Structure 1
């Protein structure tokens, strides 16, 4: 495995066409970021802003009209291995996987699970099942890999501000948390908790009720690392300042360096 530092990041951008300028500015200020994983680009592949490719960056997308969608922006060429999550038989665009520097990065936007009744929640758990199977394949192949993105789960009560969600919210339901723990029990490591085992760290603040000003947030953007990658973990940073900007996404970037 390449032993030189490698930094990858995740950001639910909540519409790339509305916030391409924020991403451009962020990339200029983070020249060390080798690969940026975006979620909720909310556009078809052909509608993804051309400014990134025009700037010499490498772009891959898995988009759909108006909803969902994920993308990768790299400073160096990478190889896309999957445009969908193997085993997740659903039309929504929620996963793209690539290899760079011998590391596999799975960029994901896991279903929220609060809409569509129990069918919607079943879809959430089905994604978790497919993700666990993908983890098994990569673990069996002894590949260094990470799953990074918007998991739409607060793993513990410490990962949400008191009163931020109702106990029956899909992000905190026992089955949701169990699905996340299953990935950890398989051998994956929550990068933030490896470095900061306790404490409240948020990556999302709702637009309503002055949630950011009150720091009523959630930690739902995660990076789960394979054992070989965990051994190299150097830092996990939440770029909270992005949330204070005008017309910001309700999520902020998180950066992992190995």
Structure 2
């Protein structure tokens, strides 16, 4: 089974790119972030025509997450991260698909930092850790994936010295990510490529993609049920070079069949 995560940076504006990638890569399950579309403006028909079922949690102009599946039934479990009833931002959706529980997330950016946006990010992180701990208590395989807006180590960022004060790389943000993983999750990319420079995001400015001045901020965390089922993982980095594309590239993993 092939599972992918992709921050599309506008699902309607990038729809031709998304549909081309779906056709070429043919993932079985896809988690999308930054739809930037209200609930009623999600391109459901185009996704259906491409052979995918979908659930989504939209929001006008900002945020938004979705889960797609190719010929597989999607059972929605929740939308919105527990822990703050006043938080209306569309950043989390969770479903059961083919024996897996899939959590799709778009963690807050947090800039400018310090400030209210970093405070919101850290609070969201704490809520995520509380929920992820509960997920690990379930006797079922869980995939927690999406745009985490964190570079966990210096290996995950081009010229780390330039990012020391950024909300994606501040010590407290990296510590929050490491403490999340330490609950018992496996960082799929780093399990297979512990020492390799791998990026998932390249800014639109200063020819970042051409210079390979990137960041690794899109992650797959796997519950212990899936650790030994991980076959392969990678980044479809060529998609970042397509016309009118997102500043992120799709990230994917392959799992063996469940036993």
TM-score of the aligned structures, taking structure 1 as reference length:
0.94
Instruction: State the 1:116 CA deviation.
Output: 7.7
Change (3 A) 1:165 1:146: farther
SS of aligned partner of 2:209: coil
Q: Over residues 28-69 of structure 1, what are the superposed CA-to-partner deviations in whole Å (9 max), with x where a residue is unaligned?
A: 1123x1111110000011101131124442111101000010
Structure 2 residue 41 is the aligned partner of structure 1 residue 28 = no
Name the residue aligned to 2:253: 256
CA distance in 1, matches of 2:201, 2:61: 21
SS of aligned partner of 1:67: coil
* Residue of structure 2 aligned with 1:226, choices 203, 223, 227: 223
Instruction: State the 1:163 CA deviation.
Output: 5.1
Change (3 A) 1:46 1:115: farther
Instruction: State the 1:236 CA deviation.
Output: 0.8
CA distance in 2, matches of 1:182, 1:43: 32
Change (3 A) 1:195 1:140: same
Structure 2 residue 40 is the aligned partner of structure 1 residue 39 = no
SS of aligned partner of 1:91: coil
CA distance in 1, matches of 2:163, 2:216: 15
* Residue of structure 2 aligned with 1:84, choices 77, 80, 87: 80
- Contact 1:164 1:216 survives alignment (8 Å): no
Structure 2 residue 197 is the aligned partner of structure 1 residue 200 = yes
Please say which of residues 121-130 and 48-57 is displaced more in the overlay: 48-57
Instruction: State the 1:117 CA deviation.
Output: 5.1
Structure 2 residue 48 is the aligned partner of structure 1 residue 60 = no
Q: Over residues 214-241 of structure 1, what are the superposed CA-to-partner deviations in whole Å (9 max), with x where a residue is unaligned?
A: 1100000000111111121111110000
SS of aligned partner of 2:145: strand
Name the residue aligned to 1:139: 136
TM-score of the aligned structures, taking structure 2 as reference length:
0.94
Change (3 A) 1:164 1:72: farther
Name the residue aligned to 1:74: 69
CA distance in 1, matches of 2:187, 2:160: 24
CA distance in 1, matches of 2:34, 2:15: 13
Instruction: State the 1:139 CA deviation.
Output: 1.1
SS of aligned partner of 1:51: helix
Instruction: State the 1:164 CA deviation.
Output: 7.6
Instruction: State the 1:165 CA deviation.
Output: 3.9
* Residue of structure 1 aligned with 2:127, choices 127, 130, 136: 130
Q: Would you say how many aligned residue pairs link Structure 1 and Structure 2? A: 252
